[in-house]
Amino acid sequence: MKTITRFAPSPTGHLHVGGARTALFAWLQAKAADGKFLLRFEDTDQERSSSEFITSINDSLAWLGIEPDEPPIFQSKNLKKHKKIAFELLESGNAYSCDCSQERLEEVRKAQIAKKLKPKYDGLNRDKNLSHEEGNVIRFKMPQTGTTSFQDEILGNISVENKELDDFIILRSDASPTYNFCAAIDDKEMNISTVIRGDDHITNTLKQINILNALDSTIPNYAHLPMVLSSDGKRLSKREGAVDIDEYRKSGYLKEAMINYLMKLGWSYNSKEIFTQKELIKNFKISDVNSSAAKFSQELLDFYNNHYLREYEISDLFKYIDNNFLLPDKFVKNPKKLEIINLLRESANNIPQIIESLSIFYLEPNFNKELISQIKIDPDLLLNFKKELNEVNFNDKLLIGVFIDNFLDENNLKFPALGKPLRLILTGKSKAPSITDLLFLIGKDNCLARIEKFLST
């Protein structure tokens, strides 16, 4: 049987970390087996579904390189088929018409809760053979004995006694089909071989298996992914992880870093940390996913992003930054711009951190009272340093380093005595790159001008 997987988001929101991981794992499962990966938008909730979210999800998947092998399918376009099959199940006796009011259903629910029973439909109309009329719902007739079981590729055997499951609605009173019914029918029509989704869908899977059994359909393999939790084991919030994937792109995270990070949310291979796309496709198996919940880690995501920021060819990285972020004109005109970015990326977790540090190379510090009070250096020593610096050949960074070492020796100084105040004079910041790098990349004329400006304050 050809491997066909799918990612089936509801376009009622943006693509977040959990959904992106599901899509990635489904895509890899298909690619590892030389199969197909399909995208289905479950857009039957017309009030909450939005073309904005469809575009957002498509754009996020495209950025990650998770492309479907066929044009996306929209569940709303299959409603006629869903309704037709619902009535076929009604005719075959696998479903029944129900005219219970909402008031009665609520009374039944309250009574069951009062008795500490699991709330579910009590089957009042199950065997009445009511004629289906406008305003009635159609309920699927679940088996009342035995169990519904399946072998989950991640969680192992899952089995539930059928008496715990209720006769759920497959066609609402307004004749619109429900999620569980639509999903089962669409998986059948799309020949899905493996359904990969979150473990919050396990109950849905039990319902959908029974629908497919009633239609004499092949049951797909199922793999339910444990949730992604926050670092403290709670549900993800926007403060930690539950943000639109596109926001990570806008925040300067590279797709390679995001892909590697998503893989670490439950999957590993021989303790290896960094994977190329080819390596992922070669080694991925959904059955290797951990059965326990994964925890979001901003530190790990930053680790991956720093790795790829440093791995990019510097000209490619500059081009990417220039095309996707706003770079100051003064910096773009700087002949040493590639060398500056090459230096700053070493310690950056994302692209905005690089951009925030660019100003020290083209803007003079503001020598206000607070900054001046932090700069502790003998003016005569600094004046002598300025004179000797003027004679240094700035074409070779090594020569600048040699000059610094010689100046320290000649003046019997330890590096902090010169380095700390000089860093503040050149950048206005206590944390900045090495003095040698700063002198070389800021340039002789600008360095001399900044030192002179400080001396004249």
Per residue in 163-176, pLDDT tens? 999 999 999 999 99
Residue 302 near residue 264, CB atoms below 8 Å = no
Task: Read off the DSSP letter of residue 46.
Answer: T
pLDDT at residue 131 in the model: 96
Q: Which amino acid would we find at residue 351?
A: I
Residue 340 near residue 327, CB atoms below 8 Å = no
- Choice between 94 and 44, residue whose per-residue pLDDT is larger: 94
pLDDT at residue 49 in the model: 87
pLDDT at residue 207 in the model: 97
Q: Give 384-405 pLDDT, tens digit per residue.
A: 999 999 999 999 999 999 999 9
pLDDT at residue 48 in the model: 85
Of 161, 124, 121, whose CA–CA distance to 145 is shortest?
A: 161
Find the Cα–Cα–Cα–Cα dihedral 229, 209, 95, 111, rounded to 10°. -40
Of 244, 247, 249, 277, whose CA–CA distance to 263 is shortest?
A: 277
The domain limits of the chain are 4-71+227-296, 75-180, 364-457
Element (DSSP H or E) covering residue 85: helix 79-92
Rounded CA gap, 283 and 28, in Å?
9
Give the distance from CA 339 to its chain's centroid.
Answer: 31
Those residues with Cβ within 8 angstroms of residue 155's Cβ, 6 or more apart along the chain or in another chain: 199, 224, 291
Q: If you average pLDDT over residues 369-392, what whole number do you get?
A: 96
Q: If you average pLDDT over residues 61-73, what whole number do you get?
A: 97
Residue 27 near residue 33, CB atoms below 8 Å = no
Find the Cα–Cα–Cα–Cα dihedral 244, 246, 252, 253, rounded to 10°. 80
User: Degrees (nearest 5) of the Cα angle 167, 172, 173?
Assistant: 120
> What is the CATH architecture of 364-457?
Orthogonal Bundle (1.10)
Residue 58 near residue 72, CB atoms below 8 Å = yes
pLDDT higher than 80, residue 377 = yes
84: which 2 tokens? 């037709």
Percent of the residues in the chain that have a pLDDT greater than 90, as a whole number: 95
pLDDT at residue 92 in the model: 97
pLDDT higher than 90, residue 357 = yes
- Give the end-to-end CA distance of the chain in Å, rounded to a whole number: 79
Banded model confidence at residue 64, pLDDT cuts 50, 70, 90: very high
Q: Give the number of C-alpha atoms closer than 13 A to the C-alpha of residue 113, restricted to the C-beta side.
A: 6
pLDDT higher than 90, residue 243 = no
Residue 66 near residue 24, CB atoms below 8 Å = yes
324: which 2 tokens? 């996707």
19-45 in b/e form (b: 16+ CB < 10 A) is bbbbbbbbbbbbbbbebbbbbbbbbbe
Q: Which residues, listed in sequence order, are joined to residue 148 by a DSSP beta bridge?
A: 160
pLDDT higher than 80, residue 200 = yes
Q: If you average pLDDT over residues 258-284, what whole number do you get?
A: 95
Element (DSSP H or E) covering residue 5: strand 4-7
pLDDT higher than 90, residue 257 = yes
Q: If you average pLDDT over residues 144-156, what whole number do you get?
A: 97
Q: If you average pLDDT over residues 223-227, what whole number do you get?
A: 96
pLDDT at residue 106 in the model: 96
pLDDT at residue 240 in the model: 65
Q: If you average pLDDT over residues 257-278, what whole number do you get?
A: 94
Superfamily name and number for 4-71+227-296 = HUPs (3.40.50.620)
Helices (H), 115-265: 179-189, 202-214, 245-250, 255-264
Rounded CA gap, 181 and 202, in Å?
15
Rounded CA gap, 367 and 46, in Å?
59
- Choice between 141 and 232, residue whose per-residue pLDDT is larger: 141
Residue 162 burial (CB < 10 Å; 0-12/13-18/19+)? middle
SS3 state at 232? coil
Rg (alpha carbons) of the chain, rounded to whole number: 32
Rounded CA gap, 406 and 412, in Å?
10
pLDDT at residue 241 in the model: 66
Question: What does residue 27 show for φ and ψ, rounded to 5 degrees?
Answer: -65, -45
Using CA atoms, how far residue 210 sits from 146, 151, 184, 189, 401, in Å, is 12, 15, 9, 16, 75
Q: Look at strands 95-98 and 73-74 and give their pairing.
A: unpaired
pLDDT at residue 239 in the model: 66
- How do the residues of the chain divide into helix, strand and coil, expressed in percent and rounded to 5? 50, 10, 35
Q: Which amino acid would we find at residue 437?
A: D
> What is the CATH architecture of 75-180?
Alpha-Beta Complex (3.90)
Q: Give 289-342 pLDDT, tens digit per residue.
A: 999 999 999 999 999 999 999 999 999 999 999 999 999 999 999 999 999 999
369: number of Cβ within 10 Å: 7
Task: Read off the DSSP letter of residue 237.
Answer: B
Percent of the residues in the chain that have a pLDDT greater than 70, as a whole number: 99
Residue 137 burial (CB < 10 Å; 0-12/13-18/19+)? buried
pLDDT at residue 1 in the model: 75
